[in-house]
A and B are shown apart, each in its own frame.
Chain A
Amino acid sequence: MKAAVIVFPGSNCDRDVQVTLRKVCGVEPVMVWHKESSFEAVDLIVLPGGFSYGDYLRSGAMAAKSRVMREVAERATAGVPVLGICNGFQVLTETGLLPGVLMRNANLKFVCRDVHLKVESSQSIFTSAYESGQILRIPVAHHDGNYFADDGVLQRLEDKGQIAFRYVGPDGREDETANPNGSARNIAGVYSETKSVLGLMPHPERLAEPELGGTDGEGLFKSLLESLS
């Protein structure tokens, strides 16, 4: 598997995901600077977390217009898998590669803590190492993670199995108390229609080592390694 991590000015989880790709997948990703208009062929493109261009306009909005994203969008359309974590998810919705938008958290505050996620289905290149319905503990850290789309879009996402992860309680119950940001239908991550693009607010790369207090995030990278090697 060959992977690329896109680095925007203001990205701050680029190293974290680089380290995780190294440790879990044994691959050394290419780090691609936002001013590049092309980069070598890869099997996976990762858009890391952070505050691209300071997120001074709307989270991810400036990055969506960057030179490198034109290339990423083309490759995504051609079927190259793309993983967007946190700010990367915001960039993907802003570029239109994923449906919906990420609004300011319902309580208007930044939130950093472990949340529980339900894997909706193991039938994807991102989740094959998990069980369908498995509950994961993974941290979030964001100010703008409140997923919104209109009811028609949400229903289509449900029907086509495009909801990747939902916020749930440790026991799997899906209610408001388990939702850290007000996201519609507790959505934490969504796929593109082909399920080759995934955006999620939680940070699987932050809990992928026992020393950091958990390994639930590891499965996502193991899935990719299995599927793309």
Chain B
Amino acid sequence: MSEITPQIVAEHGLNEAEYQQVLDIMGREPNLLELGIFSVMWSEHCSYKSSKKWLKTLPTEAPHVIEGPGENAGVIDIGGGLAAIFKMESHNHPSFIEPYQGAATGVGGILRDVFTMGARPIANLNALRFGSPDHPKTRHLVSGVVAGVGGYGNCVGVPTVGGEVNFDPSYNGNILVNAMTVGLAPANRIFKAAAQGVGNPVVYVGSRTGRDGIHGATMASAEFDDDSDEKRPTVQVGDPFTEKLLIEACLELMETDAIIGIQDMGAAGLTSSSFEMASKGGMGVELDLDQVPCREDGMTPYEMMLSESQERMLMVLKPGKEDMARGIMEKWDLDFAVIGRLTDSGRMVLRMHGEVVGDLPIDPLAEASPEYDRPWIATPARPDIDAHSLPLPGNTGAVLLQLMATPNLCSRRWVWEQYDHMVMADTQGRPGGDAAVVRVHGTERALAMSSDCTPRYCQADPVRGGAQAVAESWRNLTAVGATPLAITDNMNFGNPEKPEIMGQFVGCIEGMRAACLALEYPVVSGNVSLYNETNGIGILPTPTIGGVGLIEDASRTAGIGFTDQDADIVLIGNTRGHLGASIYLSEIEKRTDGAPPVVDLAQEKANGDFVRGLITSGQITVCHDISDGGLAVAIAEMALANGIGATLEQPQDDPSESGLPLHAWLFGEDQARYLIATGSSGALLAAARDAGVPARIIGTTGGKTLNLPGGSPISLSDLSSGHESWFPDYMAGTVN
């Protein structure tokens, strides 16, 4: 056995104190295999050691929550005996190093988290954040990531229905690839990881184990430097075809009563799956590594235990069910092997060629991993920006044309047309709206889902930004008529050992907590990705929120496109002309300062509940939430969707709004607002008055132009060509 030197310990990402704890737990010096297991189990990625303290403060309960954080994915009751199972997870580090495989295996990993629990995956979403468009690597990364997401999702036959794509220089050295899967399962048949029953067989199914992805979890727990490309061998390679077989085979086996516990082999592969199963069930486990199906000969125990080869599952079966289970796996041409048994020793014993090659206690390792209360400092508050201090644009129409063709506001069609968003034939609301709408197969219901975060707000004010991310998710689901039920959060931040970064994390959690409580919108699953830094430069704080909501009657929903001429356009919510940290400020004034918009959660709730009521009662079918770029951008999107124009007028009847400069009224990013188009605004305005919800008519639909106050008419064809062409032109290399 090799001797463990301080250098080997450091290479495994453990600090001195942590190594001392290893020695205390083991009562002796570990061998290399054992050290490797500690290393992955205690990596930031697997142990949440920096974030645990704060994650615990998030609300996780509601009457409809069946399973909150702690399992592979969150589970919520959606009625009719069905549950929605969902989670979002990052694959940031691998995707930067090898964009196609990094993104592809990100999709594969999150799918497994969901079908492990017994759900058939019904939709994928992904939130992608790239560096500045003019950074030399950006085009290559966009191209690879989009191809990887599509290559995997299209082949497994799960529609990719929504997501986000954004650009900011802070992601130049650390792109974000956050993948989310939503699945459906019978509410009374949820599978969990816990192992039970001394002597029961531990079974390995799926792809064979190779030498890929060794120490991926450790890589994802450190900063990058200029030599990060050398980490390419730690990136896994995906096989969506095998994943498809694995989904079908597992779901078929789950129809029987053979499975006691099941866990996918994700980060830290066989190590973390077997540890988690044993630990959750309070069991011990003995594995015979000679039985592990391997892709090549001569693999060492170290390689087998730390490999992150994809498309593998571990399960504990009821005794005597092995042959039946093997039959199902063989039907799907998947490997099946009994690789061990459960014991009551509380230890993991690993054997190879008849010898014990590793022997570790399970509970201290899996449950007693380090937990840090890292020092943090709050982000200093920024002053508000007075819109009157900014020059009035000469032509608001020209400003809108310009904004609609910027990298962060232009159409993402180039991206989502590379994703099969219709397979399974239940996609009712396709990409490009506020939220995707996917029917619950064979029922009258549908699920709405979206992914949201405004990182520039989180940087400007983490508390407000965290609240805004949750509120915008809630608003997007509301805008299609769904009742928001729960979220999954994907916390992407820089190096937590820096108090400023830790302060961003703490602040975002505080804001998210407040919004989750106020909107009754609990967190049921999530993932943390820290150390998103290269050469000491961290990303914008990015707590991506994946939201899921329920539409009871799938025929009562709303879309963003105007459907009729001469309809009144009604604005719900107050407009204060907030331009701090806005897109207008960065694109037109080339400034990124100022406080982000205020998030008034009571108003958010009141306005949203009112709008949802209008949709579910069938009174409106056209609705859009107002977010990046403000009112004018939202109107432009509504006009472009079906090619129906509009004419806007700034109301002069409210003293708090009538004094607003035009650019603040048109492009301010005040929250809690929606736009509605309706032929019967009278009743609607009266109902809003009764409900205490601000509502006013701001324009009319019709024609083939968009007419803004203070601007010359914009033809929809000009608007559309600018909006649609940036992405394809950029990717073709004709613009920067």
Contacts and interface: CB of A to CB of B under 8 A. Distances in A.
Interface residues of B, number: 33
B378 interface: no
Interface string B21-41: 000000000000000000000
Nearest to A33: B331
B86 interface: no
Nearest to B247: A12
B424 A16 contact: yes
A67 interface: no
Interface residues of A, number: 31
B421 A112 contact: yes
Interface stretch (A156-164, A187-195, A205-213): A205-213
Given A10-B241, A53-B241, A139 B422 contact: yes
Given A50-B157, A112-B418, A206 B332 contact: no
B206 interface: no
A110 B420 contact: yes
Contacts, number: 85
Contacts of B427: 212
Contacts of A49: 423
Interface in B412-436: 416-428, 430
Interface string A1-36: 000000001101101100110000000000001000
A222 interface: no
Interface in A55-73: 55-56
B333 interface: yes
Contacts of A55: 155, 241
B154 interface: yes
B262 interface: no
B245 interface: yes
Contacts of B331: 33
Given A10-B244, A211-B554, A205 B425 contact: yes
A206 B422 contact: yes
A173 interface: no
B239 interface: yes
B545 to A, nearest CB: 26
Contacts of B114: none
Contact of A141 (B332, B422, B428, B554): B422
A206 B427 CA distance: 9
A28 B557 CA distance: 31
B630 interface: no
A15 B424 contact: yes
A223 B156 CA distance: 31
A112 B241 contact: no
Nearest to A11: B157
Interface in A191-206: 203, 205-206
A113 to B, nearest CB: 5
B555 interface: yes
A212 B420 contact: no
B240 interface: yes
Contacts of A53: 241
A111 interface: yes
B439 interface: yes
A9 B555 CA distance: 34
Interface string B133-163: 0000000000000010011001111000000
Contact of A110 (B154, B239, B430, B555): B154
A206 B428 CA distance: 11
A112 B157 contact: no
B155 A10 contact: yes
A51 interface: yes
B439 A211 contact: yes
Contacts of B426: 212
A13 B423 contact: yes
B417 A51 contact: no
A39 B207 CA distance: 31
Contact of A51 (B147, B155, B332, B424): B155
Contact of A211 (B416, B421, B428): B428
Contacts of A118: none
A56 B244 CA distance: 14
A79 B554 CA distance: 42
A15 B122 CA distance: 13
A54 interface: yes
Given A9-B332, A211-B439, A54 B240 contact: yes
B241 A12 contact: no
A56 B154 CA distance: 14
Interface in A86-117: 109-113
Interface string A205-228: 110010111000000000000000
A143 interface: yes
Nearest to A209: B425
A211 B416 CA distance: 21
A16 B150 contact: no
B244 A109 contact: no
Contacts of B423: 12-13, 16, 49, 141
Contacts of A211: 428, 439, 554-555
A138 B244 CA distance: 26
Contacts of B156: 12
B419 A112 contact: yes
Interface in B215-250: 239-242, 244-245
Contacts of B554: 211
Nearest to B245: A9
A109 B428 contact: no
B239 A141 contact: no
B420 A54 contact: no
A85 B331 CA distance: 25
Contacts of B425: 13, 15-16, 19-20, 205-206, 209, 212
B239 A112 contact: no
A55 B156 CA distance: 12
Contacts of B150: 110
Interface in B496-547: none
A51 B244 CA distance: 10
Contact of B418 (A33, A54, A111, A209): A111
Given A112-B419, A113-B417, A141-B420, 8 more contacts: A9-B245, A13-B423, A33-B331, A51-B240, A110-B150, A111-B418, A141-B423, A206-B422
Closest 8 interchain pairs by CB? A12-B157, A54-B241, A16-B425, A141-B420, A51-B155, A112-B420, A110-B418, A206-B422
10 contacts: A12-B157, A12-B424, A51-B240, A51-B241, A54-B155, A55-B241, A109-B418, A139-B422, A141-B423, A212-B427
Interface of B: 147, 150-151, 154-157, 239-242, 244-245, 331-333, 416-428, 430, 439, 554-555
